[in-house]
Amino acid sequence: MLLSIQDLKVAFRMGKADGLMQRQLAVKGVSFDVPENSTVALVGESGSGKSVTAMSILNLLPSNAEREGRVLFQGRDLLHSSTRELQAIRGKDIACVFQDPMSSLNPVFDVATQICEPLMKHMGLSRRQALARAEELLNEVGIPEPKRRLKAYPHEMSGGQQQRVMIAVALACSPKLLIADEPTTALDVTIQRQVMELLARLKQSLKMSLLFISHDLGVVGEISDQVVVMRHGQVRENAPVEKIFNDPQDAYTKALLACRPSLAGNPARLIVIDDHIAGRSAATETKAKDPDAPVVLEVSGLHKSFWLKDGLFGRREFKAVKGVSFQLKRGHTLGVVGESGSGKTTMGLALLRLHEQGGGTMGGQALFDGRDLLKMNGADWQQMRRRIQVVFQNPYASLNPRFTIAQTLREPMEIHGIGANAAEREATAIALLRRVGLDEGAMAKYPHEFSGGQRQRIAIARCLTLRPEVLVLDEAVSALDVSVQAQVLNLLKDLQDEFGLSYIFISHDLAVVKFISDEVLVMQNGDVVEQAATAELVAAPRQEYTRRLLGAVPRGYQGQVAQVG
């Protein structure tokens, strides 16, 4: 057995209260094995303890962590190994790939330096030998022009390329075990599939084992041999991947499988984990859409470009959006899909005129209530901004960390003169919090005191304080666990039914777009390559690019493990 975790407990010291040290138990007696040349997946929601369990293997935990139990790597207990012994293992026998490569790669060192470091430290290679091996590694992980890319810095590469560099660093010394902690969560579905195929291929060629951590059973079903399902620091189920998908035993495992949107079928509502475990049905019907609803937003020929530096004094024009046209009806949702760099976010922000200070040119027409959003100015635009709002991908970055939730919700109402007085605005804020599933107790708290899903609900409530007619949702659920994602998607449908809201829903995940959208607009390199009703587009896509996006959506276990491609 390569790795055996036995009755692992991890607690965090939280400081003293009444003279006693307070401890938060995050992992509560976890046990599982990772055989040689196999892939074991740790699955669970945020807070389930899966990342803490994995980071305990090499003691990559904060200084206030306390570990008990046994972590046997090739028969050697790593829990009782010294720091020097662990440093000899880290990067050589056991390596890690993390979720955010920009946080893991050093921004002041080029790619060559970061790949060469473990080769020189653990393998004893000279700088020249390490550079030659680094070029080979970049080629193995699919980086084009590897020799030139060795001189690049992390910020000069796309997210998918950064993740490939991180994998190259991790694999430099041919480790026996690779720990991949949410390595594809923040990536487009097409890049996600490429990374999964890469990991599966390298695992086979290097004969290494893979501990793959994710919250998405759809992803791990395509790459894993064994699945360990965790919740609240405990193992709920541990079984081969085919048994997890074909005959799950634990109610929580069944709920995780049920709550993710899929390309097969289109339920009125997604099942939420707690409801599924309690046996409550989620078959509530949503309001039928009016096919003759009035058009609230009509966009034609929208284009946006940026000036990029070219040489010492020159510049060149980069066309990010190249003539987008669509109509959005009241109470309907337009899904906008495409890979990173396709122009979908730029298009949404251009409508909101949030790119005006970024240089470049913008043109076309965006008629909202008969008036062109792109040509309005001054007080007219300020008033119109009440009616078209945005929800961003990262709610923590878009919520002021120094404002309480009460201040966050009251501020837009005060700016736009909504509510007769402070008491009325307070009552409106509380009512909206309740509408998005939070109680009055949230008013006095700060954003950091809430989970990602709760923060996104607060961001939605803040938009609703202005009583908007159109919401632009820019990857609003892509960073959320599948269970929290289901709750937010259901909430968006409920709010649309109740208030008649129209959505522009920007996403790279066609399964999510299929669930919430009435019509889909597919973008590639700034152009609209396909536009159709959602059911029609999913059933019979006309463009190869659309078919590729659909084919990249994780479908879970299909009977072949580690054969992703």
**Cα 349 to the chain's mean position, in Å?**
20
- 140-148 average pLDDT score: 87
Residue type, 502: S
Answer for the pair 165, 114: CB distance below 8 angstroms, yes or no.
yes
Q: Which two tokens stand for residue 77?
A: 């207990």
Q: In what order do the strands lie in the sheet with 94-97?
A: 94-97, 177-181, 209-214, 39-43, 226-231, 234-240
Q: Check pLDDT > 70 for residue 286.
A: no
**Does the pLDDT value for residue 455 go beyond 60?**
yes
Q: How confident is the model at residue 312 (pLDDT cuts 50, 70, 90)?
A: confident
Instruction: Indicate if the pLDDT at residue 453 is higher than 90.
Output: no
- Cβ distance 52 to 232 under 8 Å? no
pLDDT at 357 over 70: no
Residue with tokens 């440093």: 87
DSSP 286: P
List the alpha helices (DSSP H) in 270-403: 273-278, 344-351, 378-384, 395-398
Task: Say what the alpha-carbon torsion angle 327, 332, 337, 340 is, to the nearest 10 degrees.
Answer: 90
Task: Please give the domain boundaries of the chain with CATH numbers for all domains.
Answer: 1-15+22-93+177-258 (3.40.50.300), 100-174 (no CATH)
| 207-254 tens-digit pLDDT | 999 999 988 787 888 889 999 999 999 999 999 999 999 999 999 999
Closest by CA to 342, choosing from 98, 545, 524, is 524
Please say if the pLDDT value at position 283 is more than 60.
no
480's enclosing H/E stretch is none
Instruction: Give pLDDT, residue 186.
Output: 63
Q: Count the neighbouring beta carbons within 10 Å of the beta carbon of residue 197.
A: 16
- Neighbouring-strand partners of residue 178: 95, 210
> What does the pLDDT average to over 19-26?
89
Give the amino acid at 451: S
Cα–Cα distance for residue pair 140/117, rounded to 1 Å: 18
Question: From CA 114, how far away is CA 102, in angstroms rounded?
Answer: 13
* pLDDT confidence of residue 457: 87
State percent of the chain over pLDDT 70: 96
Mean pLDDT of all residues in 370-390: 88
- For residue 481, what are the CA distances in angstroms to 186, 193, 238, 303? 12, 18, 20, 34
* Of the candidate ranges 326-330, 355-359, 403-407, the one whose mean pLDDT is the lowest: 355-359
- Which contiguous run of DSSP H or E holds residue 54? helix 50-56
Q: For position 561, what pLDDT does the model report?
A: 39
Residue with token string 């075990």: 177
Handedness of CA 380, 476, 553, 486 (dihedral sign): negative
Report, in angstroms and rounded to the nearest whole number, the Rg of the chain calculated over CA atoms.
25
| CA nearest neighbour of 46 among 481, 395, 449 | 481
User: Is the pLDDT score of 560 beyond 60?
Assistant: no
Q: Which is more confident, 161 or 96? A: 96
pLDDT value at residue 565: 34
Q: DSSP secondary structure string, 137-168?
A: HHHHTT-SSHHHHTT--GGGS-HHHHHHHHHH
Predicted local confidence at residue 289, as pLDDT:
86
**How far is it, in rounded angstroms, from Cα 398 to Cα 404?**
13
How high is the pLDDT of residue 450? Answer: 85
User: Can you give the pLDDT at residue 559?
Assistant: 58
Half-sphere exposure (CA, 13 Å, Cβ side) for 329? 12
**Quick check: 185 pLDDT over 50?**
yes
Residue 284 has pLDDT above 60, yes or no: no
Contact between 276 and 251 (Cβ < 8 Å): yes
> What is the structure's pLDDT at 563?
37
Range of 71-85, 335-349, 372-386, 440-454 with top mean pLDDT: 71-85
In this structure, what are the phi and psi dihedrals at residue 379, rounded to the nearest 5 degrees?
-65, -30
Average pLDDT, the chain: 88
